[in-house]
Structure 1
Amino acid sequence: MYTKLTSVGRNMAIIACATALGAGGCMSEKAEINKPLPKMSKEEAEGRARDVTHSMARSAQVEIDEKTVKPNYTKCVGKNDEVSDDGRFVLQYDARASLDGDQHEQAVQRIRAALEKRGYDVGTYQVTKGPNATVALTAKDPEKRFTVAVDGFMKRDEMVLTVMTPCLLPPGREQQQY
């Protein structure tokens, strides 16, 4: 069966793979599965995601519609579908902003330039034309391993800004070993 992914679906698949890599989910050596996870509370992760999202919005020269902000916490899932009981989590933080479709490409280019200046590695940058024209960007912070995605839906005059954390372990929790 063939499933056509939208640009958001495509970017979320890229983010999911990057998260799995960051969590050790795609690593072949058994020792890597127990590699120490970065420690961060949910509040700190959400604060950082909010800061990155607002920074991208400033770069794009758009205002985030605060009613659209959606922090979504999920458990980390390992390579062999392991789910621990140690409190580790992944945060996907989404926000939307209105922007005239004709301005999307320049706005995403400004976001890209700002992210590159801050040391992010750009993974994809894609512009599609036609009746469902979109602009899409993904990038990753090599130090904090946060992944970002920007999707501009020109027909809807809407941009979606997403930040996803790697698998994080809350402070004070002992990491479960496999």
Structure 2
Amino acid sequence: MSTPGPNDPLPVKARQDAQDWAQHMTEYMAQTAGTALDPGSAEPKFSNCVGKNDEVRDDGRYKLTYVAYSSAPLEQHPEAVRKVRAMLEQQGFKVDGYRETTDGKVDTILDASQESSRYLVTVETTTGGLLLFRVRTPCLMLPAPSPTSH
């Protein structure tokens, strides 16, 4: 697959489909990490796409940031993040950032992106000691409404 260009049409995906995919991806990352997501911790947030000159089009374009948490013990975070990193690399994601600190304080973060889809994923230790799993979509376009027959 080639890298999308700035003038290529936006990917088309219904909001529910994007949210379902993000939920599946966070669950898969947590499973790979050897942990489970905390029930009720998912936070889907839809927002407008903003252009480089702060312009916003009113044509249904949107982005989704989907976050879910796990209360896996802190000492498990580094190994969990390593497992997710290996899985993502195997699936063609590029690691954009990685940090693992255990000198008295566990602090892990993994940022990865998939060039073909422009999806971004993050796994990190939060300030409160939870393990955060995040999926961010690129700007997506809603499918055209289907014609209705009368």
Task: Identify whether the pair has TM-score above 0.5, normalized to the shorter chain.
Answer: yes
Q: Which residue of 2 aligns with 1:46?
A: 19
Q: Which residue of 2 aligns with 1:165?
A: 137
Q: Which residue of 2 aligns with 1:11?
A: none
Q: Percent of aligned pairs with the same residue?
A: 37
Question: Deviation above 6 Å: which 4+ runs of structure 1?
Answer: none
After superposition, the C-alpha distances for 1:141-164 in whole angstroms (9 at most, x for unaligned) are: 2222210011124x8441000000
Q: TM-score, length-normalised on structure 2? A: 0.87
Q: Which residue of 2 aligns with 1:6?
A: none
Task: Work out whether residues 13 and 143 of structure 2, in 8 Å CA contact, stay in contact via their aligned partners in 1.
Answer: yes
Q: TM-score, length-normalised on structure 1? A: 0.74
- Count of residues paired in the alignment: 142
Q: Which stretch shows the higher mean deviation, 133-142 or 87-96?
A: 133-142
Q: Tell me the C-alpha RMSD between the 2 structures.
A: 1.8
| Aligned-partner SS, 2:52 | coil
Unaligned runs of 5+ in 1: 1-21, 25-31, 174-178
Unaligned runs of 5+ in 2: 146-150
| Aligned-partner SS, 1:68 | coil
More helix by share: 1
Q: Letter of the 2:142 partner, please give it.
A: P
